[in-house]
Structures are given as structure tokens and as C-alpha cells.
Structure 1
């Protein structure tokens, strides 16, 4: 049931922020946390990549979200569960065997977050008209990525500040995760009051009807045109990015003696939380506007190149290790920032974040095209499930590949890994004006 009079600017930004924040904490910030708490790169690569699994297999239960209750009830319930899980993680970090215990709780949060994504994506597709979907795609993608940068920027800065204040990594990260749980609680409350009630509850009463619905949902997806090529593209498009994301933070933090840049936790947080944040915002907004104006066909190739070419910057950083150029220190209320400003590192991050914000809009718009038709919520979930599989498997191997190749050759390998997805994109068939705003 469409309703275009419910002021989507009020709910789209925060709803998508609520999708990205738990994902970033579970998949990305956990890498920084475990690195600072003494876990080695191989274990980080394997176990934090396994946390992708709920996003991979979410199509298995996504039909339940279609069949029972409303998308709104689902994402509100899942966001509340995520809030509780992060609070529990914060309480377990000071314990013995914190690694195993926190991973187990992160798993619960990951399943809840994947379910939240299914419900939020379905709500977006139901509540907006198609031309609104293309226009707000850039806003949606931007605020999703803003949540990732909030996690990797603001949250990491907070953790770095607490590390310096307490000289105790476990206490610092415990307080940080509790703060994340409280933030997620506030976001859930906001979404409860801001999101519109646009859906009608349709319950399949008979077991036969439920089985038919499950079977038809999955069968209809795999009958789509070019499905083999489509799945190959989805799986390989993020092959390079999946490895980059896992080893980028260790590269920035590791000492120069082992090939890293030797940045502090606050340095990394400020780079991503300020300069990266601005670049991502501009890139995401421009990406959505470009597709809305000209359609996906014109922008698919330029946007893919915009995403992947900045990896060359990390290749150069790893080989030349530019020295720190400026030391900046300032007081902000009770925060004392001590920041090493490296022009070259910051420039590379800015280009990467802008390219990602601008380019990822094309990939997400294509997934919306793939999901077109009946059961679009479940079909979109299946498509993003394959996307998550393409992130999980290479990410699991990334730590071992990096240790074998070293950071310099690893980033060259990451850049080479982007080529298969680029080549496959040239054979995809879709309406060239898909996503273009109607007159």
C-alpha cells in the first residue's frame, strides 16, 4: 500500500542509519576492537568474516518477514534486540574468554541486524513510488554509509580517548560498546515515532499456502533473466572491497616495522569521522541524483570505476609510507584530541570514501532492478544475501593473504580482484533508463 504523503525525509535517513550502525560495529569496529585487545590478524580475518553469515543466509527466513506481521514491527523489534546485544557485549569485554563470549553475542546481534535489513529494505520498496526510490537511493545509501563512518569515526575516536584516559583497553572498549547500545536504543525510539504505518497485515493461514509461498518466492527468483550472470556479478563485484575492508584498519594501525602506517586509534577515527564523512556524503548524494536524472545505464561503468580506482592510493601508501606531516592538538570540552595529520593518507581516504558513496549507488540500484516483480522484499533479500556471501568468503581469507603477501602486494592483489566484477557488468542487460525520474 503506497502512501507518498508521509514525508520520507523524516524517516529514511534514521531508518537506514539504524541498518548501517550495527553492521559497522559487528563487521568493522569489531576488527579495531579485537586488534587493540591483542587478537592476531588471522583470527580477526576468519572470525569477524564469519559474522557475515547471517547476511548470507537471511533469504532463508526473509519469507517469514513477508508472511507475518508488518515490516515496521519487524525492524523495530530487531533494533531493540540489537540494542540489548551491544549492551551485553560491553559487559562481557572485561571477562576472561571475552573473545569467545563477545563473538557469540555479536552473532545474535548479526542475525537481528540481518533481519532488520530485510524488513527495512522491504519497507522502503513498499512505502515509496519508483521515482522516489531512485531519488532517495542516494540519500538512503549516504545515511547508511554515514552510520558506517559514525562507527569507524566517532565511536573509534571515543574508544581511543577512553584508552588514553584509563590506560586499560578492556575498560575503554567495554564503556564504548555500552555507549553504542544506548545510542541504538535512542535510534529505535525515534524510528518508532517517525516511521509511517503504511502496510496491511496479510497472514497466510494454511500450511499449504505458506509452503507454496516459500517455494514460489525462491523459484521465481532463480527464473529471472540472466540469473547465472546476475549471481556471478553480485558475488564478484565486491571481491576486492571485501578484502580491503578487513585489512585496511590493521594496515593503518600496525607499526611501520611490519608494513603498517602506525596511526593511533584516534587518528583513524578522525580521518574517517571528519574528512571521510564529508566526502562520503557528497558522493552519495551526487550518485543518487545522477541516476535519478539520467538512469542507471549511463552511470553504471563510471560509478564502478569511481569505487575501485581509489584502491591505487592504498597501493602507493603501502609502498612509499609517507611520513606524518602535521601534529594537531586541541581541547574540546572534556575531550583532548591529539591528532597526527597525514595529508597523503587523508587524501586517499577522501577519494576512496567519495568514490564509494558515488559508485555504490549504481550497484544498489541494480539490485533493486533484480528484485523487481512480486515478492520484491524476499527477492531483494536473496540478492543481498549473495552479496554478503561475496563479502564473507574473501574476507575470511584476507588475513592469510595479507600475511603471505605483505601489505604492499596485498593491495595490488585487492585492485586486481576488482576486475572480474567490472568485466561482468558489461554483459548485464537492464533498461538503460531504470531509476530515471519520470517527467
Structure 2
């Protein structure tokens, strides 16, 4: 049964609900790297401790069944978004203190826990509120606004921090004010989602007279590992982002570090502008096209081309690290290619996770799948600083490119309906 809300209002709430998932993730996982780099923390410590912030996303399957079993998805994501807002405000006030590194990491970890829970509830809300063909159609929109939120963090928020650095000539004060602004933005998003998200959670494929029966925690968790081809599926999920996990941690240090140590020597504000302008446009186009392509032809046709489109732009960073071009426009070109490839290519990975989670307890199963994805991001990311210091930036990016090959090979052994995600006319 399709309700008027699921039919008429997805465009009002899907973009902002996913933006409220992507922005905390960007701040905790990516912007924290830039912040700590500018506040004097070493690459090795950045790699280890900011990668540990992935832990809540890794272990979220352990508590995700409770989100299925207690209260509503809407109540969960609203409370978690409010907690995230408060956490970022507190981080802003802890930066000026002497032991800011330990304190801010602890608060970021709380925010990460809330953000991971917010993701579980938001994903479940999405799968309950929309039909299958709506899910495939809005997949590109979801992915795009999630990534737009990440680029808002890596772009606009970093630009603001860079502006404050220049204005006050004090990086501590600059980042303190910046994190307070982030907390206020999250507060506004929470209020918006409170008023605009539907207040019903009826599965469009069910009727109110035939609700899905509640099942136990153990049944929900163990049933995921009984799915067909689960060994290959989990290997693919763990290895698909092996290269990206390391690229994400060391890319901004590469852009900020002096050329004397192999970096590109950019200002903080420059990094924000690069990702916040042309990067946003490229990602938006790529994400929308990716969702439309799968919706039109199905996942089978696009899996391989999308994976290649996502990973081949790493070659551009290899060239930057080896030749260090003086013109900033070469950096723009590489970022545009990388962002378009990510927006277009990542849609296939997320659609496969939706397929893997399909069935009973889809919210919990989707969170388990994304938990393994987070584990595949956390462990390599923890080592990325040491690998980069040992290899140097040039050889590091070559290693990152080679690390994408296992996931590419495994993708060819996955079994799924070739037309999965295709819109039914």
C-alpha cells in the first residue's frame, strides 16, 4: 500500500536526511584529519587515531537490531542528530585547552556512535518508506546528497576554517569557531528533519493488517550470515575500499604538506575551495548519473564500468606526486575526475549492499553489511600514515592504486540478478 507521504514527499526529506548522515561522517572521519594536521599532530597519529573513529560504524551491527525492535526509526535518527549537534559544539569549546587532542577524540567518538546509529535508522527509514523502484531511483540522490554533505565538510567548512586562520592568525581559535559553526548547522538540520520527515513508517510492500513480526536479536544477527555466497560477499565488502581507505587519510596531508616533503604545499583554504566548488559539481553529476544508469539498465550492466570509473582517477594523484605541477589547475582536474568517478561508481557498491540486505530485517542486515564496509576502511586507514612515511607520497599512491585490484577481481564472482535496481515500467 503506497501512502501519500511516500508518493509525494521523498524529494523534501531524502536530500536533507542523507545530508544529516553525511556531514557528521565528513567532520569526524575527514575534516578531523585536516584539523589535527593544522594543529600539529603527526601523520602517524592522525592515521591511527582518526581511523579508530571508524569503530562505531564497524560495531554498529551489534546494536542495530535494537533500532529495529524498539521505538521508530524516525525517533532514533532525530535523537541521534541532536546528540551529534551537542557533541560538535562541545568539541569547539575543548580545542583551546591544553589536552585538546585526547578530549576532542573522546567527544568525536561519542559523535561517531551517534552518527552510526543515525545511519542505521535513516537507512531503515528509507527502505521502509519507499518502494523498490523508488529506492533505485533515489539511490543516486541519496548518494549525491550524502557525498555533498561530505564535500560541504571538506569544502565549505574547511574554507571557513582557512578564512579564520588568515583572519585571526591563530589556528586554535580558527578551528574552535569552525566546530561551533558545524554544531549549529547540525542543529538546524535536526529541526528541519523533525518537521519534514514523514511520521509514518509503513512498508510500502506490506499492509497495516499484515505487519512484519518482531524477531529476536540473535535471529536477526545470525540470519545475515546464512545468506547465499556470504563468504565472497563479505570479502568483496572488506576489500572494495582497500585503496580508498588509505587515500582518504593521506590525501589532505599530501595537499597541505610542503613540497620539500613531497606534498603540494596548499593553504587550508585552497583545499576547501578545490573540494567545495568543482568537486561538488563533479560529484553531483556523477552521483545522479550513477543512480539513473542503474535505474534504467540494472546493476549487472554497470557494476564493472562503475568500479573502474571510481578507481582509475587515482592515477591522477600518482602523477601529481611524481611531477608536482606548479599550476593549481592540474589539481583541480584530478579532483574533478576523482569526485565524478566516486559519485558515479559508488552507486553500484551501495546498490549491491541493498541487494545483500534484502529480505526480513533489512535494516539490521544493511547495517551489518555497512559495518563490514567500515571495518574495511578502519584497518587499512590505521596503517596509512606509517605506509606513507615509509614509501613517500609518490610510491604511496601507486600502492593505493594496486590496493584497488582485489575488490575489482572479487566483484566478478558476485551473483545477483543482473536487472536488480532496474525501474519497473
TM-score range for the pair, normalised by the shorter chain length: over 0.9
Distance 2:59 2:166 in 1: 40
Question: What TM-score does the superposition give when structure 2 sets the normalisation length?
Answer: 0.96
CA contact (8 A) 1:70 1:200 kept: no
Whether the aligned pair in 2 keeps the contact of 1:243 and 1:398 (CA below 8 Å) is: yes
The reply on whether 1:223 has 2:226 as its aligned counterpart is: yes
Compute the displacement of 1:200 (Å): 6.3
* Stretch moving more, 403-412 or 6-15: 6-15
1:147 is the counterpart of 2:177: no
* Separation (CA, whole Å) in 1 of partners of 2:200 and 2:420: 25
Aligned to 2:344: 358
2:357 to 348, 371, 374: 371
Corresponding residue number in structure 2 for 1:253: 256
Instruction: State the Cα distance separating 1:282 from its structure 2 match.
Output: 0.2
When normalised by structure 1's length, the TM-score is 0.93
1-structure distance, mates of 2:101, 2:269:
23
Please state whether the residue corresponding to 2:85 is helix, strand or coil: helix
Runs (5+) with no aligned partner, structure 1: 202-208, 325-341
Mapped to 2, the partners of 1:318 and 1:213 lie a distance apart of 52
In structure 2, C-alpha distance between the alignment counterparts of 1:6 and 1:354, rounded to whole Å: 29
- The equivalent position to 2:268 in structure 1, one of 262, 265, 268, is 265
Question: 1:69-218 to 2 correspondence within 5 Å?
Answer: 69-199=71-201, 213-218=216-221
Take 1:149 and 1:220, find their aligned partners in 2: how far apart are those partners? Answer: 36
Unaligned stretches of 5+ in structure 2? 204-212
Which runs of structure 1 show a deviation greater than 3 angstroms over 4 or more consecutive aligned residues? none
- 1:292 pairs with 263, 284, 295, which one? 295
Residues of 1 paired with 2:228 and 2:2: CA distance?
Answer: 27
Q: Is the 8 A contact 1:33 1:173 kept in 2?
A: yes
The question of whether the paired residues in 2 share the 8 Å contact of 1:146 and 1:280 is answered with yes
Instruction: Give the number of aligned pairs.
Output: 414
Q: Is the 8 A contact 1:319 1:408 kept in 2?
A: yes
Q: Distance in 2 between matches of 1:189 and 1:282?
A: 28
2-structure distance, mates of 1:364, 1:113 = 18
RMSD over equivalenced CA pairs, Å: 1.2
Is 1:386 the counterpart of 2:389? The answer is no
Q: Distance in 2 between matches of 1:312 and 1:369?
A: 31
Q: Does 1:435 align with 2:421?
A: yes
Partner SS for 2:7? coil
